[in-house]
Amino acid sequence: MQLSLTQPSSWILLLLVVTSLLLWKNVASVPMCAMRNARCFTFFEDTFELAGSLSHNISIEVSELFTDFYEALLKSADMILDVWESPLNDLVSELSTIKNVPDTIISKATDIKKKINAVQKGVNSLISSMLQNGDEEKKNPAWSRLPLLQSNNEDAHIRSLYGMISCLDNDFKKVDIYLNVLKCYMLKIDNC
Ligand SMILES: *[C@@H]1O[C@H](CO)[C@@H](O)[C@H](O)[C@H]1NC(C)=O
């Protein structure tokens, strides 16, 4: 790799070299090398050895972090999709019990539910192909219907459906971001 002084890493390396040279100059009385494994290591070699080993370790850790981050995004999207499975069924059926709810709203909710099921299948297949433990059994929290969804009080019923749609909106904005960030990186799309 060519070093360019516009890269921060190059400055750090340069600083390290200059510091070592200065120290080297000032420690003329210190033994010229340290014996280890029957080999004489100069201060200069030692410093490079340490910096080299440390930067090698850091580069491994950074690529692990990168992979972990992918995995976390995909798993979070998957978790949100799974958690919504049962509540979405309830949402669709409850909407149709409310007076004056236009058919367009009910058919939109049904359509959303179908599309979410399709995304869920896609995410599941990405997980099994990309992640090592992708096939591990999931433990979804059990969904018990909100008491307000069962209430006969129509105002409370409407409020609870409204709250549910608002949560759905928040959660799916997250899924949208996670999956699109992943798509950009995995497919190496520029400017997205
Ligand atoms: C780099 O990692 C190896 C293996 O884990 C370790 O033995 C070594 O001490 C590390 N190097 C530094 C400079 O921390």
Dist CA 25 CA 10 (whole Å): 22
For residue 4, report the distance from its CA to the centre of ligand 1, in Å.
Answer: 27
| Residue 148: per-residue pLDDT | 58
For residue 39, report the distance from its CA to the centre of ligand 1, in Å.
Answer: 20
| Residue 3: per-residue pLDDT | 47
CA 187 to chain centre: 16
Using CA positions, which residue lies closest to atom 1 of ligand 1?
A: 57
Q: Which residues on adjacent β-strands are paired with residue 34?
A: 41
Residues with CB under 6 A from ligand 1: 50, 53-54, 57
pLDDT tens-digit map of 134-169: 556 666 666 666 665 666 788 888 888 999 999 999
pLDDT tens-digit map of 116-140: 999 999 999 999 988 776 556 666 6
| DSSP annotation of 148 | G
For residue 157, CA distances in Å to 96, 146, 147 come to 12, 10, 9
pLDDT tens-digit map of 56-99: 999 999 999 999 999 999 999 999 999 999 999 999 988 988 88
Exposure class string for 103-123: b at 16+ Cβ within 10 A, else e: eeeeeebbebbeebeebbeeb
Contact at 8 Å (CB) between 158 and 170? no
Q: Which long-range contacts (CB under 8 A, 24 or more apart) does 47-55 make?
A: 47/16, 47/20, 51/13, 51/16, 55/9
Identify the H or E element spanning 105. Answer: helix 103-130
If one compares 44 and 175, the residue with the highest pLDDT of the two is 175
Question: Which ligand 1 atom sits closest to the C-alpha of 50?
Answer: 13
Annotate 149-189 with three-state secondary structure: HHCCCHHHHHHHHHHHHHHHHHHHHHHHHHHHHHHHHHCCC
Q: What are 64's two structure tokens?
A: 């692990």
